[in-house]
Structure 1
Amino acid sequence: MSADLALQKAVHAALAADAAIAALVGTRLHDNPPDDVVLPYLTLGESEMRDWSAGESAGAEHRLSLHAFARGGGRTQVKSILGAVRAALHDAALTLEGHALVNLRFLDAETRREPDGTTWRGTIRFRAVTEESAVGP
């Protein structure tokens, strides 16, 4: 499995298991939100991966985003969701299939009103470094 997919799966699993996030969005954590999605919800956003190999060690640097959407609770609700995401992921010791997570760090967050005038979107970004796990003798 590629490092970026392994990281995505581990992030999704960590967020799905987090009680604070469940209290804010329930089970509405999506990779690709359905057309009839109910707000508030959290979705996996953009991701980038770059080579971060050193010597004999294969590694990757990742940048990933998550998006929170809310309507009734406005900016406050979105900021609460982003805070829970940061608490769940910043410096988390996630287990990745076939790879080791060296670090996972919060980069930044922003909130803004969507063009419909009633929906708020929050975006939170993280940087991670992974290394390939050793395979057999």
Structure 2
Amino acid sequence: MNADLALQKAIYARLMGDEALTALAGGRIHDNVPGDTALPYIALGDNDMRDWPGGAEHRLALHVFSRGGGRAEAKAIMGAANAALHDAALTLEGHALINLRFLDATTRRERDGVTWRGTIRFRAVTEEIFDTP
């Protein structure tokens, strides 16, 4: 498994396993968001992977969508996601997570005038694990 997919799986598992976060998001944490998903929810967003000496550097985003609770609800969910992921010791298949750090967060009102989107970004470094004979 490549490092990018291994990291995505570990992040998704951590988010789904965090009781505070799943309570805030109503258990709605998605990679591919179904069209009829109720708000609020979290979507795995854009990610980039670059070569790094001995491994890979990853930059990834999570998007939070909120309507009823507005910006405050989006920020609360983003805070819980940050608490779940920043400096987390995740186990990756075939790779070691060296670090996972918060980069930045933004909120903005969507064009419909009632939905808020929060975006929280992280940076991770992974290394491949080699089997030794």
Per the normalisation by structure 1, the TM-score is 0.95
What is the CA distance between 1:134 and its match in structure 2? 2.0
* Cα shift readout 1:80-108 (whole Å, capped 9, x = no counterpart): 00000000000000000000000000000
Letter in 2 for 1:49: M
* Cα shift readout 1:47-82 (whole Å, capped 9, x = no counterpart): 0000002xxxx3000000000000000000000000
Letter in 1 for 2:45: G
User: What's the counterpart of residue 7 of structure 1?
Assistant: 7
What is the CA distance between 1:126 and its match in structure 2? 0.2
What is the CA distance between 1:135 and its match in structure 2? 1.5
- Of 57, 65, 76, which residue of structure 2 is paired with 1:69? 65
What is the CA distance between 1:23 and its match in structure 2? 1.2
Cα distance in 1 for partners of 2:70, 2:26 equals 17
Cα distance in 1 for partners of 2:27, 2:34 equals 13
Cα distance in 2 for partners of 1:136, 1:35 equals 46
User: What's the counterpart of residue 31 of structure 2?
Assistant: 31
- Give the secondary structure class of the aligned counterpart of 2:111: coil
Cα distance in 2 for partners of 1:118, 1:135 equals 52
Per the normalisation by structure 2, the TM-score is 0.98
Please report the RMSD computed on the Cα atoms of aligned residues, expressed in angstroms. Answer: 0.7
1:17 correspondence with 2:17: yes
Give the 4+ runs in structure 1 shifted more than 3 A: none
What is the CA distance between 1:22 and its match in structure 2? 1.2
What is the CA distance between 1:112 and its match in structure 2? 0.3
1:132 correspondence with 2:131: no
- Of 117, 125, 129, which residue of structure 2 is paired with 1:121? 117
User: What's the counterpart of residue 87 of structure 1?
Assistant: 83
| Unpaired runs of at least 5, structure 2 | none
User: What's the counterpart of residue 97 of structure 1?
Assistant: 93
Number of paired residues?
A: 133
Cα distance in 2 for partners of 1:76, 1:114 equals 15
Cα distance in 2 for partners of 1:136, 1:38 equals 48
